[in-house]
Structure 1
Amino acid sequence: MILVAAGTSKADLLWTPAANEIGIDADVPSFFGHIMAPGGSELAPLDAFQLPPDISSVLPDQDWLGDFDIFGADFIPAVDNAFAAPPVDIQPQQHQTQPDSVTEEKVEGHSSHRLNQADHARERHAIFKRSPWLWIPERNSNAFTEHNRIQLDEGHLQSATSPHQPFAETLSIPDRLSQSSRDRILQLIVRTAKSQICITSFPSADCLDLLIKMGIAKKFETDAWIHPFTFKSEDCRPELLTALVAAGCVCFGVSLCTEKGPRSTQIDFELQVKTVSRTGLVLLEIVRVALSRVIEEDNSAGRDIQWLQASMIWLDVAAFCGFKRKMEVAESNLQPLITAMRRYGKFDRVAYSPITPSAADSASQLHETWLQWVEAQSFCRLAHHLFEHDTFMTLTKHRNPLLSYAELSLPLPASRALWLAPSADDWRTVYLGLQSPSHRQAPSLRSILADSGIMRCMIPEVDVQVATSTFLSGVAAQVWEHGKLVSLHANGGDDSDATARLWNQSRHEKLCDVLHASELSTNVATFSTALLRHFLLMTLHVNLDNIMRFAGKCGEAEAQQAYQALVIWLPTKPARLALWHAVQVVRAARDAAPYQLRGCDAFLTWHAVSLMWAYGMLQQNVARRTARSSPVPDSTTLEASAPPSQKRLVFLDGERSAEVDDFLYRNDGIPCMRLLDSSHTVCSLHKAQNVMTIGIEVLERNCPGEGRVGMPQMIKSLCDLMEELGKLR
């Protein structure tokens, strides 16, 4: 990788090859040079090893540790030091005007990507099976074949601190795990895993108590669907307690390792890395098996809020853990939870009768009313969280939703002030203070989707953050629905169906208007809402399936077909609008707090970077063809002859401006992004190889202080994939 000096002329941002330079090896054509060459369908077929990498080629099948002790020397954190980690100082990106001296990251031309024999098999597997999430299990593989020995020797454990800050300063969870509850967790593990694992010791109740509280507190970063102040471990199912311990493990530490000596080999270092997160994943496997056994033994468990919450916890974590087997198992187990909630009637408003306190209630009556309200709100919040989870799975796994937005007629959850009231008296005080004079009923997702103007005047009794995220999830389901209809009509071959075209165009405009208006209709401004909103606007201007197929997801023939569609799309305004929103997705990801890009947000960021990369690949192909068909001037002549608008750098990672509008509507200027280093490095979006550097930078900076080996598996896999794609031409 070479950084061009600050004195580099702006004309160099427009890469123009020599007249005889195509950027493709004469002996072995690269994949993209092959599919974008004129008359590509007549070319000799490519070997499988020349095809580009797919996400399945970098995701491991299993969380394999062999005989490595997942509860070994670095598992249990010291309670006194658990929150002693210094705050991570991430300097915000300074959005500024074009600097006086600008440099650009420029990637050297790569020779054809030749792979060793193991990589050949990996690439063939990804392409021949044509599925980015395919998992083919080996015979006799199961949840416990990944770990055959669990040693919980607390005497050999070292203190460690979490890079996360999972506790809000004002949040205090009163419950404390007892020794008997700790023993129930151990009994569940032993009973479920049976002789498949060996346990020689187990963490103390204090350690498990810390992890449980971290598992509860982690939920408060989003929609807070487990109530902290009525939580009593003595009354909890062991499945829920174990799930919370596992969630605490996953969010506690990205990696805990002994200090790496100066002469340590990479293999020794990897053996020293003992991840608390992986411990949580193993516990979630135990929870999954235990929950299935419980529902078989007692069907009424499917109506128990604790069984439902435990199911949701393991689905949340496993769905984006980065290991294909766990991810596929989690995806396939979402339907039973939705079915249980649906058959229990918890998606319908009739299941939620008003529960209100009265100033005349006695202490016992008030406490009982509060507990009833908390249980109803727990179901309500779980239902909305489940809908959002299903939507995220739709967007990331490209499959149809399992739950319809029109099905949710239940009221939106109550405000966080009510939900986080620490006692019945405080709850009554907040409730009577928030009650609106008109006594309006809380709207439902169905009602705010029917009339998005309700979002501008939301009643104070409603949790605005949950309402906003649920609303965007509902719009996301409509965007998905619209995309399927467009694909259906596009493949129908009947160009005379004017009604279908008008309907699709009208629906497209309506969805764009709703998403643009949602930015102004709420006071909630989080990175996740901005990221999702821009991602949805991006998908309204591009067929993401074409982008993935162009990247080689389904092989050479499909890539050529996708290329033909994208060539028509490239010079249009929708292409530039899609590029703008893709850059805004990356910008929102940059604003994420450390360690927050671990689930759906990381996937959406990856899709945005993929679009930017495809845009650059197509632009480079245009430059190649232009170079072949016309004489090539030197850089001085090029700079002098280029119109002024083509010399101006347009930074798409800032606020909307007149310069941005000129690019979007008139194609004036060179689209660029700033990197986050101190040298004011600029990346032209006309150069695809540089774009992947931006994507890797965003994901890696969200894990400060971690090397690639210590990152969450999903982030590591996405970075590896972008690194591989960045080498392709």
Structure 2
Amino acid sequence: MSTTQPGMFQCGSCKKNYKRLDHLARHVRSHTQTKPYKCHVCPKAFTRPDLLKRHVAGHGSQAGDSSVAEQPRYMPGRVSKACKACSTNHLRCSDEKPCRRCQEKGIECKWNDSMELDSDFQSEEQQQDEAIFSQDDASSSMAGFPDHTSIGSTSGSSVMEQPSLDMLTPQTSHSLFQNLDPSMNTNIDPLFFPLPDLNLLSGGWANPDANNVDMYTYNQLDDIDLRFLDSYNTSIPFEVRSIQPTPRGAQTPRATSHTDPGEPAAMCTEAFQNSHWKFRPNAKDHAGAEEHNLSLPATDSAYPSPESGVALESNTRVTSAKLEGPARDRILMMVVNSCRSDHLSKAVASFPSAELLDTLLQYYLTSPVTHATSFIHAASFNPNEKRPELVAAMAACGAVLTSDPALSKLGYAIQECLRIAVAKHWEQDNTLVRDLQLTQAFVITLEMGIWSGLPRKVEIAESFFNPVLTMMRRDGKFKRSVYSQSKTMQSPGLVSREEWFQWVEDESFKRLAFRMLSHDANTSAALLVSPSVSYAEILLPLPEHADLWTAASPEQWNSLKASRRQDEPLFVADVIDDPDILNNHTDSVDIYVAIMAVLSCTWTMCWEYLQLSSLQRSRPRRWNTLVTEMRKDELLKLLGHLKLSLSADTSADPEIQMRLELSLLHLHMPFEDIQIFAGMEGPERARAVYPTVRDWVKSEAARHTIFHAAQIMHIAKHSPRGSMRGPMAIILYHASLAFWVYGLLSDQSSLSRALSQNVYLDEPDSIALQRFKGFGQGQPCIRWRTEIQGEGEVVISVPLSQPDKVMEAVMGIVRSNFTGMPVPHLTEKLVQLMGELENSAKRKLDA
């Protein structure tokens, strides 16, 4: 006596089992109340394809369309027209017989067998399909479906029997899915790809029958299991919106004939060519090209004084000692030794005064953008005792931060001299490659170059990071062994100044190593290059608490150290393993540096996943995507856990928030393909990646992407004035590009937009947002605060279906962040690029 085996596919809501994926998908729609089969004539939608076909036929009869009436009831699919040779090899066959491939190969083209059925059998076969669906609906309250005997007995006079579901093979499964519904476009839905023989699956997918144990003897996963899991993992059977029925007599084109996928790229290519990513060298580019900027312009009414470009309050001084004349002379001597003789006289005559250099130095140390005091020990910093290269680097960076044109040129000119001067010191005396101050000065110049927005400086800064990284790596600064644990003195009065300085130097090297890690991750995200520092080599302990780092004297330092418990040192790997552990070490660890280090390591992990998944886009695949998708899930869990574990003070930092959202953004989007589609590599490459980007826009991952992009936009709105520069400006640009491509390629008809409820993506997560991300329900929008004449400042809703308006809103956020201030060069270049994207979207929508 045969017993009915329970189905291998189980509903996550009511736990009912089904034998086939399409049956389970239709059952899930009864829970979600979704109607994926939409009429192309009217706005009605249906849960089943046969209901849609009947409805569309009614439209044809009402309109008296003779072409619809003359259509045969069953239109054979593409595979049924293929000859035997093409069908066996899974190759595209032509409509003309004999086909072109068989003629070129010189083989016999056979097609007059069971693949060409008469019209009577087609009608009976379709009746069987309708019987299957009707039986399935009638038995929705049962735990399983009828077995194949009841299905096969639907039509006793059939010439051929319907293939048994229990005897499903890779060949018959494909034809069975083809025959279930001829209108389904099975060529683009991976759910309908040939499945392996279900009887060969060795894993126990459902509870086995006690009387039939032999089928479930082996529980190890073999190659067939992994291939099945691969297709199940990458093709979500419940993604019902990916199954779009095509009505009879109507074929949905892949792209309209008048639309060129490379048109937006053609408009933006020139803007990308002029961006900081592309350096096109010419004969005028050389090391001494900026030396004429070493002298400040003469004071006049348009430029009253150099100090007027520095907005520094009198009570914001960090160092107690002021920069004096001898220190200024040492900086000038360093500049003179790095300059050509042509500009020496002018540079010496108009070089900045000691007062201006000191002001720029304080501006750098107090800037909330640089976080300079996180790796420069301000309490022991005396500019008159430090190396002139370090003091000059800090003053040059302060000059660039002012965004004043004359001071910025001065800062970049000094930076060019420093790049040569520091390298000259290292070449003349190799022991100086271990010097802390020279290394700090060189890292500051690299940061200036990467965020300058000047293509030559960006390329030099990217390439010159490897030498200083190698020096730190070879000196063991990324390992635990070189950092000795400082001992606490029994009496605060007995602590020596030398011991404090030794602790400061060790801690400075440690913080410099983490600064380089963060800089490397930011560079990787900005230039889309592989990180140079591996998360696996960060073995040094996290920096000690900020109160110890900012202690003003050896006595205060020792007193604070004696009052704190001596915990075991904490490492980045500990925080990645359990982000909550930081909340237990708030008194012993610098939380800001620790979070930035963890975010840098997680970005490296995300990049590793993105690179591996990019190899999976072409078949045959070398790696099973089940592994990569599991990696993605783990990264999403880690970032979600880290986001929840942040304290209120830490989570209020906009840079931390934006870097966290950036990793989540990239995990869901093929950013490199999107940037190529936007015009990074020209119209031809844009046309090549268009199918990939178009398919991504229709996926659930795209909806998650624009949600994180909107969160980045929300953070940018509330960021401090003047902070949208450097890494934060790059992150906002990434978010804007996600908005642009989604609005440009998403299929949202005017009728569906009018009937849909607005879903605001730049708000905290809600039920409406969950429905949109999961099922695409609602019209995605963002809020934009703008000025309207006669009404003042108002908040308006901008739908993502208007990408030109969205880009205008993003540019408005950047400009409002610099109200009354000069905009940095990199930020201005990104705004110009967004403007080109806005214009291309406007022309695309108007076409």
TM-score, normalised by the number of residues in structure 1: 0.74
Query: How far apart, in 2, do the equivalents of 1:146 and 1:608 lie?
Result: 34
In structure 2, the CA distance between the partners of 1:683 and 1:440, relative to structure 1 (3 Å rule), is same
Counterpart residue number, 1:269: none
Query: How far apart, in 2, do the equivalents of 1:357 and 1:416 lie?
Result: 17
In structure 2, the CA distance between the partners of 1:146 and 1:203, relative to structure 1 (3 Å rule), is closer
Counterpart residue number, 1:351: 482
Residue number among 517, 520, 523 corresponding to 1:390 in the alignment:
520
SS in 1 for 2:283: coil
SS in 2 for 1:52: helix
Counterpart residue number, 1:412: 542
- Between the two proteins, what is the percent identity of the paired residues? 28
CA displacement at 1:219 relative to structure 2: 6.9
Tell me, yes or no, if structure 1 residue 618 matches structure 2 residue 745. Answer: yes
Residue number among 637, 662, 671 corresponding to 1:513 in the alignment:
637
- Cα deviations by residue, 1:1-29 (Å, 9 ceiling, x for unpaired): xxxxxxxxxxxxxxx9xxxxxxxxxxxxx
In structure 2, the CA distance between the partners of 1:609 and 1:162, relative to structure 1 (3 Å rule), is farther
The answer on whether the counterparts of 1:212 and 1:245 sit within 8 Å (CA) in structure 2 is yes
CA displacement at 1:216 relative to structure 2: 2.6
CA displacement at 1:453 relative to structure 2: 4.1
CA displacement at 1:351 relative to structure 2: 0.7
Query: How far apart, in 2, do the equivalents of 1:689 and 1:385 lie?
Result: 38
CA displacement at 1:317 relative to structure 2: 1.1
CA displacement at 1:150 relative to structure 2: 4.2
Query: How far apart, in 1, do the equivalents of 2:479 and 2:265 lie?
Result: 52
Tell me, yes or no, if structure 1 residue 57 matches structure 2 residue 273. Answer: yes
CA displacement at 1:180 relative to structure 2: 0.9
Tell me, yes or no, if structure 1 residue 669 matches structure 2 residue 778. Answer: yes
Query: How far apart, in 2, do the equivalents of 1:358 and 1:577 lie?
Result: 54
Counterpart residue number, 2:471: 340
Task: Note the 1:91-170 alignment, pairs <5 A.
Answer: 133-139=277-283, 141-148=285-292, 150-152=294-296, 158-159=304-305
Query: How far apart, in 2, do the equivalents of 1:40 and 1:297 lie?
Result: 66
The answer on whether the counterparts of 1:58 and 1:721 sit within 8 Å (CA) in structure 2 is no
Counterpart residue number, 2:604: 477
Task: Note the 1:227-306 alignment, pairs <5 A.
Answer: 227-251=377-401, 253-255=402-404, 274-306=405-437
Counterpart residue number, 1:226: 376
The answer on whether the counterparts of 1:143 and 1:285 sit within 8 Å (CA) in structure 2 is yes
Tell me, yes or no, if structure 1 residue 177 matches structure 2 residue 323. Answer: yes
In structure 2, give the amino acid aligned to 1:343. Answer: R
Tell me, yes or no, if structure 1 residue 562 matches structure 2 residue 689. Answer: yes
Deviates more, 1:528-537 or 1:563-572: 563-572
CA displacement at 1:160 relative to structure 2: 6.8
Tell me, yes or no, if structure 1 residue 215 matches structure 2 residue 359. Answer: no
Counterpart residue number, 1:685: 800
In structure 2, the CA distance between the partners of 1:486 and 1:179, relative to structure 1 (3 Å rule), is same
Query: How far apart, in 1, do the equivalents of 2:517 and 2:260 lie?
Result: 47
Counterpart residue number, 1:204: 353
In structure 1, give the amino acid aligned to 2:455. Answer: K
The answer on whether the counterparts of 1:154 and 1:202 sit within 8 Å (CA) in structure 2 is no
Task: Note the 1:545-584 alignment, pairs <5 A.
Answer: 545-584=672-711
Query: How far apart, in 2, do the equivalents of 1:385 and 1:133 lie?
Result: 23
In structure 2, give the amino acid aligned to 1:178. Answer: E
Which of 1 and 2 has greater Rg? 2
Task: Note the 1:335-484 alignment, pairs <5 A.
Answer: 335-360=466-491, 362-363=493-494, 365-433=495-563, 435-436=564-565, 439-484=566-611
Counterpart residue number, 1:659: 768
- Cα deviations by residue, 1:345-391 (Å, 9 ceiling, x for unpaired): 1111101010133133644x432221111111110100000001001
Query: How far apart, in 2, do the equivalents of 1:583 and 1:459 lie?
Result: 31
CA displacement at 1:184 relative to structure 2: 0.6
CA displacement at 1:155 relative to structure 2: 6.5
The answer on whether the counterparts of 2:267 and 2:836 sit within 8 Å (CA) in structure 1 is no
Query: How far apart, in 1, do the equivalents of 2:371 and 2:499 lie?
Result: 26
In structure 1, give the amino acid aligned to 2:273. Answer: S
Residue number among 804, 807, 814 corresponding to 1:699 in the alignment:
814
The answer on whether the counterparts of 1:53 and 1:721 sit within 8 Å (CA) in structure 2 is no
Residue number among 620, 643, 650 corresponding to 2:759 in the alignment:
650
Query: How far apart, in 2, do the equivalents of 1:368 and 1:277 lie?
Result: 38
Query: How far apart, in 2, do the equivalents of 1:220 and 1:427 lie?
Result: 27
Gapped regions of structure 2 (runs ≥ 5): 1-39, 41-251, 787-792
Tell me, yes or no, if structure 1 residue 194 matches structure 2 residue 325. Answer: no
Query: How far apart, in 1, do the equivalents of 2:260 and 2:692 lie?
Result: 22
CA displacement at 1:48 relative to structure 2: 12
The answer on whether the counterparts of 1:58 and 1:720 sit within 8 Å (CA) in structure 2 is no
Counterpart residue number, 2:655: 528
Query: How far apart, in 2, do the equivalents of 1:153 and 1:140 lie?
Result: 23
In structure 2, give the amino acid aligned to 1:254. Answer: S
Gapped regions of structure 1 (runs ≥ 5): 1-15, 17-35, 60-131, 256-273, 627-634
In structure 2, give the amino acid aligned to 1:227. Answer: H
The answer on whether the counterparts of 2:263 and 2:683 sit within 8 Å (CA) in structure 1 is no
The answer on whether the counterparts of 1:357 and 1:369 sit within 8 Å (CA) in structure 2 is no
- Cα deviations by residue, 1:479-503 (Å, 9 ceiling, x for unpaired): 0001111112333x135x6x72221
Counterpart residue number, 1:596: 723
In structure 2, the CA distance between the partners of 1:167 and 1:154, relative to structure 1 (3 Å rule), is same
Tell me, yes or no, if structure 1 residue 716 matches structure 2 residue 828. Answer: yes
In structure 1, give the amino acid aligned to 2:420. Answer: V
In structure 2, the CA distance between the partners of 1:344 and 1:243, relative to structure 1 (3 Å rule), is same
CA displacement at 1:147 relative to structure 2: 4.6
The answer on whether the counterparts of 1:40 and 1:560 sit within 8 Å (CA) in structure 2 is no
The answer on whether the counterparts of 1:53 and 1:725 sit within 8 Å (CA) in structure 2 is no
Query: How far apart, in 2, do the equivalents of 1:149 and 1:452 lie?
Result: 48
Task: Note the 1:61-100 alignment, pairs <5 A.
Answer: none
The answer on whether the counterparts of 2:293 and 2:409 sit within 8 Å (CA) in structure 1 is no
CA displacement at 1:188 relative to structure 2: 1.1
In structure 2, give the amino acid aligned to 1:182. Answer: R
Query: How far apart, in 2, do the equivalents of 1:586 and 1:162 lie?
Result: 33
SS in 2 for 1:554: coil
In structure 2, the CA distance between the partners of 1:661 and 1:589, relative to structure 1 (3 Å rule), is same
CA displacement at 1:442 relative to structure 2: 2.1
In structure 2, the CA distance between the partners of 1:542 and 1:163, relative to structure 1 (3 Å rule), is farther
Which has the bigger relative contact order, CA under 8 A and spacing at least 6? 1
- Cα deviations by residue, 1:637-694 (Å, 9 ceiling, x for unpaired): x4xxx599x4311111111112211211221111111112222222111111112112
CA displacement at 1:426 relative to structure 2: 1.3
In structure 1, give the amino acid aligned to 2:658. Answer: L
Query: How far apart, in 2, do the equivalents of 1:42 and 1:682 lie?
Result: 31
Q: Which runs of 4+ in 1 moved over 4 A?
A: 36-49, 152-157, 159-171
Root mean square deviation of aligned Cα? 2.8
Query: How far apart, in 1, do the equivalents of 2:328 and 2:403 lie?
Result: 24
- Cα deviations by residue, 1:61-103 (Å, 9 ceiling, x for unpaired): xxxxxxxxxxxxxxxxxxxxxxxxxxxxxxxxxxxxxxxxxxx
Counterpart residue number, 1:726: 838
CA displacement at 1:448 relative to structure 2: 2.3
